[in-house]
Amino acid sequence: MTLTLQRQDLMPGAQLIGANWCDASDGRRLDVTDPASDTVFASVPDGSAADAAAAVDAAHAAFPAWRAVPAKQRAQILKRWNDLMLAHQDDLGRLISREQGKPLAEGKGEVLYAASYVEWFAEEATRANGDVIPAPVPGRRMFALREPVGVVAAITPWNFPAAMIARKIAPALAAGCTVVCKPAEDTPLTSLALIKLAQEAGVPAGVINIVTASRERTPEVVDVWLDDSRVRKITFTGSTPVGKHLARRSADTLKKLSLELGGNAPFIVFDDADLDVAVEGVMAAKFRNGGQTCVCPNRVYVQAGVHDAFLDKLAARVGALRVGPATDPASQIGPMINARAVDKIERHVLDAVARGARIVVGGKRLRSASCDGPNYFAPTILADVHAGMECSYEETFGPVAPVTRFATEAEVIAAANDTPFGLAAYFYSTDVRRIWRVAEALESGIVGINEGAIAAEAAPFGGVKESGYGREGSVHGLDDYLHTKYICQGQL
Ligand code: SIN
């Protein structure tokens, strides 16, 4: 079924290189599939290496003029972009939900979340202050200026098709950088719509370029950007193996990197926690976007004294979740993004059960009149989970909460940190001394204490260990697109 929008031109069906909305250099197309029905409903160009090179040419040519635009004027353009996103939140929300599968309320919520980054960086654009440094000798003046790094390549994932574009492109533009961008092959439409609105907001030709590409063609597009020394920074959200590949391949031209990679978030409930608050926390953190979020709890640890009571309360909430397509306003969990995702979730559940886990709720694929497609998986709770199960050491990226019983604080901190990853961690406790001890002991870029909804435009989002480096959002999110130039004037 085709998607009818109030503004049909927000589905241009073309990629933007310089001033031109164009096809792939060889005319190839990429089908866009509705994950709810597994049917094709749109197509975009399947961009080539030649398109990727043309995009860098355009971004490089646009850079000198864009960096020279006064910060206040760049901020005004970003503010207009924010306003247009809000004005078109219905169309954008429907696009997100159709190509990504999340319920419509979440799709529209993501538009607001994305716009909040654009608004934030519009304001930060005017605050990229440098330093005046007291000179150690007479007759000198010393300064540190902050300058845009240059052309940025932004490679974005499918789970938040609007927010990740906004979180990367808004700070780049605020800093005075120009952008070449490649959205995930599953969700190219939202990014094209956002960039159409950015153009309407007054972003000049060449400042943002977008190449859409299939899974097969993505390596050739990205390799062009990796090899081109004019691309000075890569910003990527996605898997750790791909992040490592980008880091290795960027070494030859020593690009600056921001890598927001895989997680394996622990969610810890101590005996002294408020159990109702903890259950709400899991619902918010684990089941948002059907569990397809890199900050989703992947391991739920519950202390022995409250384990059974917690599990009962959680089972009641998870068992009541409504699964269905985005088009049904009652849906709380949509389909998974594609068959590969559902296969992985099923593999994790089967592996856990084979190794002794117990299914408390769900545990299987769903197919029914309301879940009429191959990509639905029932919201699931597993109990008696241990560290040897795949779901404990690999990110499941689906609506599965694996629960493990623990005895002591020391034991759970060791377990929580026993992973190469360190993106998010959550814990629930009412003991203020324990709160500071545990928050400091967790090896994680983000810690939620008695809170499951942690992301915000004003907060630094990013990981430690193999979850990557660099921060998005907050004042630190702008720093990642700037370098520092020291200027020393003598003979004064
Ligand atoms: C992500 O999953 O990469 C982003 C999640 C968020 O912004 O909360």
65 — phi, psi (to 5°)?
-70, -40
Among 102, 110, 259, 461, the mutation site with the greatest number of ligand 1 atoms within 8 A of its Cβ is: 461
Give the torsion sign (CA, 392, 396, 402, 406): positive
Whole-number pLDDT of residue 1: 75
Among 117, 235, 295, 461, the mutation site with the greatest number of ligand 1 atoms within 8 A of its Cβ is: 295
Give the torsion sign (CA, 386, 388, 393, 394): negative
- Comparing C-alpha atoms, which of 354, 380, 378 is closest to residue 365? 378
User: 375 CB under 6 A from ligand 1?
Assistant: no
Helix, strand, coil % (nearest 5) of the chain? 40, 25, 35
User: 156 CB under 6 A from ligand 1?
Assistant: no
> Measured from the CA of 296, which atom of ligand 1 is nearest?
2
Please, which pLDDT band fits residue 254 given cuts at 50, 70 and 90?
very high
Query: How many Å lie between the centroid of ligand 1 and the Cα of residue 69?
Result: 31
> Average pLDDT, stretch 411-435?
98
> Average pLDDT, stretch 43-72?
98
> Average pLDDT, stretch 381-404?
98
Q: What percentage of the chain has pLDDT greater than the value 70?
A: 100
Per-residue DSSP letter, 253: G
Cβ contact 408:416 at 8 Å: no
> Measured from the CA of 167, which atom of ligand 1 is nearest?
7
pLDDT of 2 > 90? The answer is no
DSSP 405-438: EE--HHHHHHHHH-SSEESEEEEE---HHHHHHH
Q: In Å, what is the CA distance from 102 to each residue of 331, 334, 376?
A: 9, 5, 12
Torsion angle, alpha carbons of 421, 394, 402, 465, to 10: 0
Residue 81 burial (C-beta neighbours within 10 Å; 0-12, 13-18, 19+)? buried
pTM: 0.97
Whole-number pLDDT of residue 406: 98
> Average pLDDT, stretch 209-216?
98
Whole-number pLDDT of residue 456: 97
Cβ contact 371:349 at 8 Å: no
Whole-number pLDDT of residue 448: 98
Please, which pLDDT band fits residue 63 given cuts at 50, 70 and 90?
very high
294 is catalytic: yes
Whole-number pLDDT of residue 297: 98
Cβ contact 360:383 at 8 Å: yes
Please, which pLDDT band fits residue 281 given cuts at 50, 70 and 90?
very high
Whole-number pLDDT of residue 177: 99
Query: How many Å lie between the centroid of ligand 1 and the Cα of residue 461?
Result: 8
Kindly report the average pLDDT of the chain as a whole number. Answer: 98
Give the whole-angstrom CA distance, residue 439 versus residue 441. 6
Whose alpha carbon is nearest atom 5 of ligand 1? 293
